[in-house]
Amino acid sequence: MKAVVYNGPRDVSVKDVPDAKIERPTDVLVKITSTNICGSDLHMYEGRTNFEKGRVFGHENLGKVVEIGSAVDRIKIGDMVCLPFNIGCGFCRNCESGLTAFCLTVNPDPKMAGAAYGFAGMGPFNGGQAEYLRVPYGDFNCLKLPEDALEKEDDYVMVSDIFPTGWHATELAGVQPSDSVVVYGAGPVGLMAAYSATLKNASQVMIVDRHPDRLRLAEQIGVIPIDDSKSDPVEQVLAMTNGRGADKGCECVGYQAHDPQGHEHPNMTMNNLVKSVKFTGGIGVVGIFLPQDPGGPDQLSKQGEIPFDMGLFWIKGQHIGTGQANVKDYNRQLRDLIHADKAKPSFIVSHRLPLDKASEAYQHFDARDDGWTKVVLKSSHTP
């Protein structure tokens, strides 16, 4: 089968690899029809993780079930399904509590909780930027899609990661109706966090970025764009909130945060959030931070540490929630919002390209080229 293979830093190509297949009786085999390129793929693409050469990328996957293992009960051949990017077992203590991003059994590394498709450090599973994907524990992990699956495919594929992840940022921050919310980062996840805050009836949603295409999209959904290349974003947020700061804040950038001049500061967004959020406010962090970053700009960040403004954070009595989204905690509900025409997350999609074009799509998305806000790769053979 064809798949997007990582060859080394900033080098991917579509190659023939061995077919994904049923390996255990609980597996489901999915013919992928839509698979997104994600901002977290870029950390791996840029060589800033230990992602192995020769592995297949892709953790935002949707497709049609073409084969099921002998122990699969609920999922049937022909079902259209969306796959959470995290792979859970369904029976460990964390999965049973809904914390499927921290499954205790699927990742063979005993020091790590949580597994995902085509993701550094999250188990040996190949990604779905390919013709087929093996889904472990298919009954647990597959989200069945309703009859409008084909018509709304670009919406439903966002339920694999970025829509639940954006939603999770607002949950971690504790967003309530009528809150003012500031989101740092207007990439796909940041836009989904701002969109989620809007769906939760926040009274004021602001988003900080500097790319005009992203800020335009934010404006389209009624979010206030804040351009941090024009002036200090903290000052802008304070000016819009009577000097108090936003009730809640979301971090949707991660450890490769950089200033408008292109210099990397892994602590930039976190410290800006502490300053931008009110006393006793909440901060949700879904941007990726890693325990080690050998390519980091200084000694501290190489060890996964940042100079954090602990004093101001403490004196303001704020709280922080962090980590990957437990996609299964939200994906049914978000699917139903899409089905009922209450949510349309595909507004962020800028490019629909065949899998064969993955290499150039990665280049453009990685360069944050104007207009490349979100890429959906389409299998060349629709089922």
**Within 186-225, which residues bind Zn ion (CB under 5 A)?**
none
> C-alpha dihedral over 82, 85, 91, 94, to 10 degrees?
-130
Q: Tokens 């900080």 sit at which residue?
A: 208
By beta-carbon proximity to Zn ion, the closer residue of 86 and 272 is 86
Exposed e or buried b for every residue in 128-161, given b needs 16+ CB within 10 A?
A: bbbbbbbbbbbbbbbbebeeebeebbbbbbbbbb
Q: Tokens 């109706």 sit at which residue?
A: 177
User: Does 240 engage in binding with Zn ion (CB under 5 A)?
Assistant: no
Residue from 14, 38, 224, 334 that binds Zn ion (CB under 5 A)?
38
At closest approach, how far in Å is the CB of 176 from Zn ion?
Answer: 26
At closest approach, how far in Å is the CB of 116 from Zn ion?
Answer: 9
Instruction: Write 255-263 long-range contacts (CB < 8 A, 24+).
Output: 255/287, 255/288, 255/289, 255/290, 255/293, 255/296, 255/301, 255/304, 255/306, 256/43, 256/46, 256/48, 257/287, 260/210, 260/228, 260/229, 263/297
* Site residue total, Zn ion (CB under 5 A): 9
By beta-carbon proximity to Zn ion, the closer residue of 29 and 99 is 99
At closest approach, how far in Å is the CB of 92 from Zn ion?
Answer: 3
By beta-carbon proximity to Zn ion, the closer residue of 158 and 234 is 158
CB atoms within 10 A of CB 229: 12
**Within 249-308, which residues bind Zn ion (CB under 5 A)?**
none
Q: Is 304 exposed, middle or buried (0-12, 13-18, 19+ CB in 10 A)?
A: middle
At closest approach, how far in Å is the CB of 88 from Zn ion?
Answer: 5
By beta-carbon proximity to Zn ion, the closer residue of 38 and 376 is 38
User: Does 103 engage in binding with Zn ion (CB under 5 A)?
Assistant: yes
Per CB under 5 A, the segment of 20-28, 47-55, 96-104, 326-334 that binds Zn ion is 96-104
Residue from 65, 95, 145, 348 that binds Zn ion (CB under 5 A)?
95
CA-to-CA distance for 122 and 144, rounded, in angstroms? 24
User: Does 92 engage in binding with Zn ion (CB under 5 A)?
Assistant: yes
By beta-carbon proximity to Zn ion, the closer residue of 224 and 334 is 334
Task: Looking at 159-278, list the stretches that DSSP marks H as alpha helix, in order from N- to C-terminal side.
Answer: 162-173, 188-199, 212-220, 233-240, 268-276
Per CB under 5 A, the segment of 25-33, 93-101, 168-176, 228-236 that binds Zn ion is 93-101
Exposed e or buried b for every residue in 311-322, given b needs 16+ CB within 10 A?
A: eebeebebebee
Site string for Zn ion, 59-78 (x = CB under 5 A): -x------------------
Q: In a 3-state reduction of DSSP, which class is residue 102? A: helix
By beta-carbon proximity to Zn ion, the closer residue of 84 and 225 is 84
At closest approach, how far in Å is the CB of 97 from Zn ion?
Answer: 10
User: Does 88 engage in binding with Zn ion (CB under 5 A)?
Assistant: yes
User: Does 1 engage in binding with Zn ion (CB under 5 A)?
Assistant: no
One-letter amino acid identity for 293?
Answer: D
**Within 147-186, which residues bind Zn ion (CB under 5 A)?**
161
By beta-carbon proximity to Zn ion, the closer residue of 1 and 92 is 92
CA-to-CA distance for 127 and 104, rounded, in angstroms? 20
By beta-carbon proximity to Zn ion, the closer residue of 130 and 206 is 130
> Which residue is at the shortest CB distance from Zn ion?
38
**Within 43-62, which residues bind Zn ion (CB under 5 A)?**
60
Q: Which residues contact 92 (CB under 8 A, 6 or more apart)?
A: 103, 104, 105
User: Does 82 engage in binding with Zn ion (CB under 5 A)?
Assistant: no
By beta-carbon proximity to Zn ion, the closer residue of 88 and 225 is 88
Judged by the rule CB under 5 A, the positions of this chain that interact with Zn ion are 38, 40, 60, 88-89, 92, 95, 103, 161
